[in-house]
Structure 1
Amino acid sequence: MSFSEAIFKVVDVFGCPYYKKRDEFKISGNALLLEHNKGSKFISTAIIDLPSNRRECRILIAELTKILVEHERVDRIPDRIISCGECHSEIRLEHKKGASIALVEDIKQHSTDVTTIASLLSNFSIFRTLDEVSLRDFVSLLRLRKYTRNECIISKGEPGRNLYIILSGLVNVVDEDGISITKLRNGEVFGEMSLISGDPVGATIKVVEPTTVLFIRGQDFLKVLNRFPPLQMYFAKLLSRRLAKSNILISKEFSSGMTGTLAQMPPVELFQTLNYNLKTGTLRLNLSKGPASVMFRGGAVVQAKYGRKRGKSAFFAILSEKTGRFHFEPGLPEQELAMPELGMFMELLMEGLRRVDERVEV
C-alpha cells in the first residue's frame, strides 16, 4: 500500500503572528464518501503536521482540510497557491505536486513487499549493519522524495529536520559562499550532524542531477538509534570521519592543549573529536553551574565531574550545555589511567542525547 503527503510551503507573509516564510505544512490521509445500502458516510483521515514550534491557526487548518476533502487524496492535489487572510493578516502557501512524498514501498513501482525492497537496499553501507529482520523494520520507517536539478534539499543555518540517504543521483555540499566542499552519491548519508548535535545545518546540500532520497524524520532519528543498536556504531564511524576532516587543525592543537568556547564547538563535537583521535587527557570546562571535567584515556571516557554529579550523570549534564569555555590538558596521572571506562562511548553519547531530547520535549 502506498501513502503520500502533500507539502504546502509559506512563500509570503503579511502580518501573520503565527507563521514565517518557508514554514511547511504536511498533509496526509484521505477524505472519502462511501456509499452503501444504508446510505452514505463521509470518512476523513486527514493528518496535518504543523511547522515545529509554531502555534496552530484553526482557520488555516480548516482551509487545508477543505483542500483534501475537495480532491479526496493528497496525491490528487494539483499545483496551486492558497491564501489565508481571515484575521486581518495574510500568508500565501504554495504546493507543488512534484514535492509529494511516498513510503519506501513505492521505490519499486509494482512492488509492495517490504522484504523485496529491503533486499534491494541491502547493498547500501548504512543497511549492512542490520540483520534481515531489523532491516525490514527500518525500511518501514523510511520515506522517499525526488528532487530536480538545482533544488536545495537543506540550507546552511536551518534547523536539522531529517536524516537523508541518497538512493540515486548526485548532490553538492556547498559552504555559505557557494564553494563546493564535496559531492555525495548513491548510498551516502547527510543531515545526521545537526540531528545529533542539535545545532543548525552546517552546509547547503544542492542537487547536481535529478536525485531520489530516502529520509527519516528528525523526531524519530534518536529513537531509531536506540531501537537499532548496530546503527549507533555506523553513525559513530560516520561522524568521526567527518569530524576528522573538518577538525584536522583542531585535533593538532589538542596535542598541546586547546582553549575554546562551546559556541564554537559544542560538547557532542568535542567528545567525538577526542574519541576519534584517541586522545588521553582532561577536558576542563567552565559552565553555567560551575566547573566541570571529562577524562579521556585513548578516546574512552573514564571519569566526568560537574558540580556534585560524578560519572555518567555528570557526562549527560555536560552534554546538554550550550554555553561555556573549555580547555584540553593532555595526559593523565597513573591512577586515572587505571580507571575503568564509564561505558561504550557511542552508547554514552546516544543515551545522553536521548535524555537531552526528552527534556526539550517536556
Structure 2
Amino acid sequence: MGFSEAIFKVINVSGCPYYKRGDEFIITGNALLLEHNKGSKFISTIIIDLPQKRRECRTLIAQLTKVLVEYERIDRIPESTISCGECHGEIKLEHKKGATIALVEDIKQYSTDVNTIASLLCNFSIFKTLDETSLKNFVSLLRLKKFAPQERIISKGEPGKNLYIILSGLVNVVDQDGISITKLLNGDVFGEMSLISGDPVGATIIVMEPTTVLFICGQDFLKVLNRFPSLQMYFARLLSRRLAKSNIMISKEFSSGMTGTLSQMPPVELFQTLNYNLKTGVLKLNLSRGPANFLFRNGAIVQAQYGRKNGKSAFFSVLGEKKGRFQFLPGLSENEMNMPEIGMFMELLMEGLRKLDEQVQM
C-alpha cells in the first residue's frame, strides 16, 4: 500500500531565479502531534519531490513544509495557492484536489492509447522509477475498473491476484475484526505484499466512496518486477515503510526475545522485520525438515543454516516454508559479530522471491 501525495504546480513566475511556470512539487508524508501522559511529541515524515534539473530553494521548501504541518495529512490539504517572495523574484503555486478526477476521464478517453496514458501517469510515485519505454511496457498491461461504496476489492485470507493503483476515490483498510487500519487515496498502491510473498491477502479493502483503480494481474506483475530493478527497489522501500509502521510493538518484543509461528508472521515478513529494525541475535526456527538457524548483525544475515544447506541456499529454502515456529534471542558472541554478511539483504530477498515464483510456475 502506498502513500498519498499532493501536487503543487507553479502558475505564475516573476523574476524567480530557480523555477518556471508549469514546474511541479510533489509532497508526501504526515505531520502529527501525539498527546500522551508524559507530554507531547511532534512527528513529521515529509518528502518533497522537486522539479527535475532545477536548483533547490529552501525558502519555498519551508513554505511547502508549513502547509503539511498546518493540515497534518495530505488528504486534508484544501485547494489553495501559496506564494514565495523571499528573494528578488516571486512565485505562486496552486494545489488542485480535482486533478485526479480529470486524469481518470483522460485515461477513459484514451484507454487504447498507451503513449497518452503513460504521459498522464508519469507523475505517480510508482511510475517515476521507470524510463519512458519501461513505463509504456508497464502501462500496456494495466486495466481500468470502477467500484461502488461498500464493495470489497480484496478480502483478508484470499489468494492475492492483482496489484491495484488508486486513480480516484477513497478505500478503507480493515483487519479481521473490521477495525480500520488506514485509509488509501489516489496514487496509493495495494495488493503487492501477497503477490511478492505468496502469502494470502493480509487485510480487507472496502470502498468508502466511488473509486477507480488501475490493476495488473499477479503473473504479469511478477514478470515486470523481475524485469525492472528500479521497481524492485520501489516496492522494497514500500514494504520497509509498511513494516516501520506496523511492527513497532514487534520490534520492542524482539528486544527481549520473541517466539511465534510462521502462520502469524511468514518468513518474508519475519526476515524484513529483523533487517529493518537492525536487530542483532540468533533466529531459531523449528521447521518441517528440521531446525534452522540464522545469525543477524545489525539486520544483516551473517550465517544461515537449514538442514544440510548453508548460506544463501538455506535462506532461499526457508523463504518457502509455510508452517513452523520461531524464536529470536538477542546478542551474538565476539566471533559471530565479526562474520561477513552472506549477501546484501534486499538482493537476497528479491532473488529468493524470484526462485519461489519459478517453482510455482513449474
Same fold (TM over 0.5): yes
In structure 2, distance between residues paired with 1:107 and 1:315: 43
CA distance in 2, matches of 1:120, 1:283: 46
Decide whether the 8 Å contact of 2:107 with 2:120 is kept in 1: no
**2:251 is matched with which residue?**
251
Q: Distance in 2 between matches of 1:342 and 1:142?
A: 37
Tell me whether 176-185 or 314-323 shows the greater mean CA deviation. 176-185
Question: Shift of residue 260 of structure 1?
Answer: 1.1
Asked if the contact 2:170–2:208 (Cα under 8 Å) also holds between the matched residues in 1, the reply is yes
1:218, CA displacement in angstroms?
1.2
Match of 2:341 in 1: 341
Task: Give the equivalent residue in structure 2 for 1:191.
Answer: 191
Task: Identify the residue that residue 316 of structure 1 maps to in structure 2.
Answer: 316
Query: Could you report, residue by residue, the CA deviation over 1:296-350 in whole angstroms, capped at 9, with x for unpaired residues?
Result: 2222222211111111111000111111111112222233333333223222112
Q: Distance in 2 between matches of 1:302 and 1:220?
A: 34
Asked if structure 1 preserves the Cα contact closer than 8 Å seen for 2:156 and 2:203, the reply is: yes
Once the 2 structures are TM-superposed, how far is the Cα of residue 140 of structure 1 from its aligned partner?
A: 1.6
Larger CA deviation: 152-161 vs 132-141: 132-141
Alignment match, 2:305 = 305
SS in structure 2 of the partner of residue 138 of structure 1: helix
Q: Please name the residue that 1:268 is paired with.
A: 268
CA displacement at 1:105 relative to structure 2: 12
Distance of aligned partners of 1:338 and 1:357 in 2 relative to their CA distance in 1, 3 Å threshold: same
Provide the residue aligned with 2:57 in structure 1: none
Q: Is the 8 A contact 1:153 1:207 kept in 2?
A: yes
For the residues of structure 2 that align with 1:124 and 1:294, how far apart are their CA atoms? Answer: 38
Residue type at the aligned position of 1:133: T
Query: How many residues in Structure 1 have an aligned counterpart in Structure 2?
Result: 259
Q: Where do 5+ consecutive residues of structure 1 fail to align?
A: 1-103
Post-superposition offset of 1:112: 4.3
Distance 1:222 1:294, change over 3 A: farther
Residues 110 and 269 from structure 1, CA distance in 2 versus in 1: closer, same or farther, beyond 3 angstroms? closer
The corresponding residue for 1:146 is 146
- In the alignment, is the contact (CA less than 8 A) between 1:172 and 1:207 conserved in 2? yes
Give the direction of change, closer, same or farther, for the CA distance of 1:119–1:106 in structure 2 (3 Å limit).
closer
**Once superposed, what is the RMSD of the aligned Cα atoms?**
2.0
8 A contact 1:285–1:325 mirrored in 2: yes
% identical aligned pairs = 81
Secondary structure of 1:107's counterpart equals helix
Equivalent position of 2:360 in the other structure: 360
Q: Is the 8 A contact 1:174 1:180 kept in 2?
A: yes
Alpha-carbon contact 1:106-1:112 (below 8 Å) kept: no
CA distance in 2, matches of 1:132, 1:190: 23
Give how far 1:141 is off. Answer: 1.8
Whole-Å Cα distance in 2 between the matches of residues 138 and 335 of structure 1?
A: 47
C-alpha contact (below 8 Å) 2:110/2:117 kept by paired residues:
no
Partners of 2:253 and 2:127 in 1: how far apart? 36
Residues in 2 aligned to 1:304 and 1:185: alpha-carbon distance in whole angstroms: 40
Return the offset for 1:177.
2.8
Structure 1 residues 105 and 355, CA gap change in structure 2 (3 angstroms): farther
The SS at the match of 2:209 is strand
Q: State the Cα deviation string for residues 108-145 of structure 1 (Å, max 9, x = none).
A: 40464423322211211111122222222211222211
**Counterpart for residue 230 of structure 1:** 230
**Which residue of structure 1 lines up, in the alignment, with residue 161 of structure 2?**
161
Distance 1:242 1:195 in 2: 15
Secondary structure, aligned partner of 1:292: strand
Give 1:179's aligned residue: 179
Residue aligning to 2:125: 125
Structure 2: distance between partners of 1:117 and 1:160 = 26
Q: For 2:330 and 2:109, how far apart are their aligned partners in 1?
A: 57
After superposition, give the CA deviation of every residue in 1:42-97 in whole Å (9 maximum; x if it has no partner).
xxxxxxxxxxxxxxxxxxxxxxxxxxxxxxxxxxxxxxxxxxxxxxxxxxxxxxxx
Whether 1:330 aligns to 2:330 is yes
Gap regions ≥5 residues in structure 2:
1-103
In the other structure, the counterpart of 1:57 is none
| Structure 2 letter corresponding to 1:329 | L
| Letter of the structure 1 residue corresponding to residue 178 of structure 2 | G
> Is the Cα contact below 8 Å between 1:275 and 1:298 reproduced in 2?
yes
User: Distance in 2 between the 1:114 and 1:160 partners?
Assistant: 26
**Secondary structure at the residue paired with 1:237?**
helix
Counterpart of 1:107 in structure 2 is 107
Asked if the contact 2:110–2:116 (Cα under 8 Å) also holds between the matched residues in 1, the reply is: no
CA contact (8 A) 1:232 1:347 kept: no
Distance 1:140 1:105 in 2: 18
User: Is the 1:167–1:187 contact (alpha carbons within 8 Å) kept by the matching residues of 2?
Assistant: yes
- Give the match's secondary structure for 1:332: coil
Aligned twin of 1:97: none
Structure 1 counterpart of 2:136:
136
Distance apart, 1:188 and its partner CA: 0.5
